[in-house]
């Protein structure tokens, strides 16, 4: 077992899902830890969806303690850490956070994040970043890209080291300045802010202008029926541009 900054760390050859492997490491070290893998065979997304891999991409999971009432804040924080990481490697590209915590590069999905509950106060934050290849995905929900598509030459472990630094820094800033700091940074970098969006959830659609985030990190939409606060769902571009 190695270390990255203050995190215990393991890099595996292959695993079904790093979100499961990090729980095994946590049971051994009983402290915040990170597991990544060169190959992930059964990567998962939200709601039972699949996360597709390709050679050279990053699959990584962090296990750390989060107070239950702050989960929404950490969901945003994780997306911002990935956003800053992608910006480090692609400084002139358009990089945005798409609610709740996808990261888009030039309008296409480059990263997805999955939070799952661990033991006690621990949560698992699983992050996939398309580094070296754009994987084949059947009927993707959004267009997909990778750092390699922008001719960025790097490797998954370099990306991971930068990601850990950004995550640690943002977490420290959040602990010092509170949610207002995250909210401002998130809104400055939000995909489709001020534009029409559709949130799909369980076959239900809500359309409105993406205006804000509330204190609990819910999305605030301005709709024909007034302001709506959205807790979960998938965000798509709206029809009334």
- Give the footprint of ligand BT5 on this chain (CB under 6 A): 17-19, 43-47, 49-52, 59-61, 102, 109, 112-114, 126-128, 130, 135, 137, 140-141, 144
Supply the minimum distance, in Å, between the C-beta of residue 111 and ligand BT5: 7
Taking the least distance from each CB to ligand BT5, the nearer of 130 and 192 is: 130
Taking the least distance from each CB to ligand BT5, the nearer of 56 and 135 is: 135
Query: Strand 204-213 and strand 196-201: pairing?
Result: antiparallel
Supply the minimum distance, in Å, between the C-beta of residue 21 and ligand BT5: 9
Q: How far is it, in rounded angstroms, from Cα 220 to Cα 228?
A: 6
Supply the minimum distance, in Å, between the C-beta of residue 90 and ligand BT5: 16
Supply the minimum distance, in Å, between the C-beta of residue 206 and ligand BT5: 17
Taking the least distance from each CB to ligand BT5, the nearer of 78 and 177 is: 78
Q: How many CB atoms lie within 10 A of CB 120?
A: 9
Supply the minimum distance, in Å, between the C-beta of residue 30 and ligand BT5: 21
Which residue's C-beta sits nearest to ligand BT5?
A: 112
Supply the minimum distance, in Å, between the C-beta of residue 62 and ligand BT5: 10
Taking the least distance from each CB to ligand BT5, the nearer of 125 and 221 is: 125
Taking the least distance from each CB to ligand BT5, the nearer of 173 and 234 is: 234
Taking the least distance from each CB to ligand BT5, the nearer of 101 and 189 is: 101
């Amino acid at each position: 077992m190695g270390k990255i900054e203050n995190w215990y760390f393991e890099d595996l050859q292959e695993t079904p899902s790093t979100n499961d492997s990090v729980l095994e490491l946590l049971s051994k070290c009983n402290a915040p830890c990170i597991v990544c893998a060169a190959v992930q065979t059964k990567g998962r997304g939200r709601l039972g969806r699949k996360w597709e891999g390709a050679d050279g991409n990053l699959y990584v999971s962090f296990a750390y303690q989060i107070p239950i009432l702050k989960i929404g804040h950490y969901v945003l924080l994780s997306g911002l850490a990935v956003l800053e990481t992608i910006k480090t490697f692609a400084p002139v590209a358009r990089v945005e956070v798409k609610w709740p915590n996808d990261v888009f590069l030039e309008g296409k999905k480059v990263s997805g994040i999955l939070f799952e509950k661990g033991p006690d106060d621990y949560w698992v934050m699983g992050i996939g970043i398309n580094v070296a290849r754009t994987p084949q995905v059947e009927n993707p929900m959004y267009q997909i890209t990778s750092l390699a598509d922008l001719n960025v030459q790097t490797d998954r472990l370099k990306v991971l080291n930068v990601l850990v630094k950004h995550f640690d820094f943002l977490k420290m800033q959040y602990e010092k300045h509170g949610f207002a700091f995250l909210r401002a940074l998130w809104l400055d970098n939000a995909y489709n802010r001020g534009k029409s969006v559709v949130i799909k959830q369980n076959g239900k659609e809500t359309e409105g202008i993406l205006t804000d985030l509330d204190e609990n990190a819910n999305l605030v939409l301005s709709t024909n029926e007034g302001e709506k606060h959205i807790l979960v769902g998938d965000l798509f571009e709206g029809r009334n541009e």
